[in-house]
Structure 1
Amino acid sequence: MQTKFIGRAGVAVATLTMGAAVTLAAAPSALASTPAQAPATLAAKNTCPTWSVTGKAVNFRSGPSTNYRSIGLLYRWSDSGTKVSSSGSWIKIKLDHKSKTGITKGTTGWVHKKYLEQCVYMQLD
């Protein structure tokens, strides 16, 4: 089997010899993608209601500030909840399951947004 590649004036030509000859030619400009040809992508609002704790041990508070008492601690990646409301930088969540420290499923409380991460829906085609 013999393969030979020849490039000339922006056109690539490949010839294969294996009992029959095949010639392929393509202009590189036809294969190149320019930003103007890229489809427009619109950012969709994240509507996933679940928020996971990302802090090591985070206070689960009775109100939206450090002035409110702590109900207990929530731990990174093992505790999560559904957003009920928000106030400034604080998110009120309802626990999806019993927390690692024993806080009952369905309990609502406040966590600062910097210690939470909202889930993201993924579309798999």
Structure 2
Amino acid sequence: MNTLTHDHDSQAVPFPVRRTTRRITTAVAAASILLGTAGVTAPTATAAARPPAKCTTSYDFENWVDMNGANFRQGPATSYASLGSLYPGDRVKITCGRGNWFYGKILQSRTHLTGWGWIRSDMLLNY
């Protein structure tokens, strides 16, 4: 049987074993790319449940967006980057706030936007 060795290898590994391992690794990587799971990790429950340090007030309510193209932002000011836009009828669960900004999770979005972010209070219905 052929063996493949390198100067830094402490033991010789049979060549067919290395080839098989490489094929399995390649197949798993290809499958994860095709299935759309490559590089996807689930957020930890504590990260989602813990409000960000920027929050000064706790809330627990759901509300609807009342403005076309309301920016959902990375932080509580217009200087923070927009994560995307929300539209009338989109729903947000608010967990905390700072000034006239609310932090929350998108529950429903017509553009399929998801995740946590900041929205100005005057962009929500009856607030």
TM-score relative to the length of structure 2: 0.49
Q: Once the two structures are superposed, what CA deviation does each residue of 1:54-88 show, in whole Å capped at 9, x if it has no partner?
A: 011100001000000000000011x1111111000
Tell me the distance in 2 between the aligned counterparts of 1:117 and 1:86. 16
Structure 2 match to 1:101: 111
What secondary structure, in the 3-state scheme, does the structure 2 residue paired with 1:49 have?
Answer: strand
When the two chains are superposed, the root-mean-square deviation of aligned CA atoms in Å is: 2.0
Gaps of 5+ in 2: 1-58
- CA drift of 1:117 comes to 2.3
Name segments (4+ residues, structure 1) moved above 4 Å: none
Counterpart residue number, 1:84: 95
CA distance in 1, matches of 2:116, 2:101: 13
The equivalent of 1:33 in structure 2 is none
User: CA offset at residue 118 of structure 1?
Assistant: 5.7
Q: Hey, what does 1:7 align to over in structure 2?
A: none
Structural mapping, 1:66-81, within 5 Å: 66-77=78-89, 79-81=90-92
Which has a greater percent of strand?
1
Task: Compare CA radii of gyration and give the structure with the larger one.
Answer: 1
CA distance in 1, matches of 2:104, 2:126: 11
Letter in structure 2 aligned against 1:117: L
For 1:50 and 1:118, the matched residues in 2 are separated by 12
Determine which structure has the larger helix proportion and give its number. 2
Contact kept, 8 Å, 1:93 with 1:110, in 2: the verdict is yes
Aligned residues: 69
CA contact (8 A) 2:66 2:125 kept: yes
Alpha-carbon separation, structure 1, partners of 2:60 and 2:72: 21
- Letter of the structure 2 residue corresponding to residue 112 of structure 1: R
- Give me the identity figure in percent: 32
> In 2, Cα distance between the equivalents of 1:110 and 1:62?
6
Name the residue aligned to 1:111: 119
Secondary structure at 1:117 match in 2: coil
